[in-house]
Amino acid sequence: MSALQHPPGRPPIYGLMAEFNSVTDLIAACRSIHDAGYTRVDAFTPYPSEEVAEALGHHRSKLPGIVLAGGLLGGIGGYLLQYWTSVIVYPMNIGGRPFHSWPAFIVPTFECTILGAALSAVLGMFFLNGLPQPYHPVFNVPRFALASRDRYFLVVEAQDPKFDPQATRQFLFDLHASEVSDVAH
């Protein structure tokens, strides 16, 4: 799921943010809220945590596919460039070597492959994460600054079909949230 999409009909708030003291609480909360059928939920941790992701039902990332494509593109492109320039555009007798000296062309091909793959890995990652996105509603909650230190947060968007200001808030408290606050747009 991506934070890119914005609601058509605009609810009063962006959503509710629950704060947890430990990652275990957060994981538990994620599981329950996911089981409870909430779909527009996101969790925030100071460091990567696979369970959180699993608990929210994130599974395989699309990235590997993108990287493979990028790598192939780079490699093939690199080889074709060399073939085209040294066999078609301006073939020259270089030290009696044939125009198509494929063994020599391997090295640049390899490097191009890596370059293509690496670039697509990074750009792909940013793209999938919808970055750059300097502005985001969650930053409106002052305590959210602790998300990059030692606090764990869970946000339920108002967009969520099952969202209900009171019920959801209560539900979050039931999940041992130390605190629940509104997230302004």
Q: How far is the CB of 128 from other proteins (least distance, A)?
A: 5
Q: Which CA distances in Å does 79 have to 103, 113, 147, 167?
A: 11, 10, 46, 61
Window 117-136: residues binding other proteins (CB under 8 A): 117-119, 121-122, 124-126, 128-129, 131-136
Window 81-120: residues binding other proteins (CB under 8 A): 81-82, 85-86, 89-90, 92-98, 101, 104-105, 107-108, 110-112, 114-115, 117-119
Q: How far is the CB of 100 from other proteins (least distance, A)?
A: 10
Cβ closest to other proteins, residue 84 vs residue 170:
84
How far apart are the C-alpha atoms of 99 and 133, rounded to whole Å?
A: 49
Residues 6+ apart with CB under 8 A from 173: 18, 180
Please give the size of the binding site for other proteins, defined by CB under 8 A.
77
Give me the sign of the Cα torsion angle 72, 78, 79, 84: positive
* DSSP secondary structure letter of residue 97: B
Determine if 43 is a binding residue for other proteins (CB under 8 A). yes
Cβ closest to other proteins, residue 133 vs residue 170:
133
How far apart are the C-alpha atoms of 165 and 141, rounded to whole Å?
A: 17
Residue span 45-84 as binding mask against other proteins, x where in contact by CB under 8 A, dash where not? xxxxxxxxx--x-x--x-xx--x---x------x--xx--
- ω into residue 132 within 30 of 0, thus cis? yes
Stretch that binds other proteins, among 8-16, 141-149, 162-170, 172-180 (CB under 8 A): 141-149
Determine if 158 is a binding residue for other proteins (CB under 8 A). no
Cβ closest to other proteins, residue 19 vs residue 42:
42
* DSSP secondary structure letter of residue 148: G
Cβ closest to other proteins, residue 110 vs residue 176:
110
Q: How far is the CB of 167 from other proteins (least distance, A)?
A: 23
How far apart are the C-alpha atoms of 84 and 102, rounded to whole Å?
A: 12
Tokens at residue 114, please? 């890596």
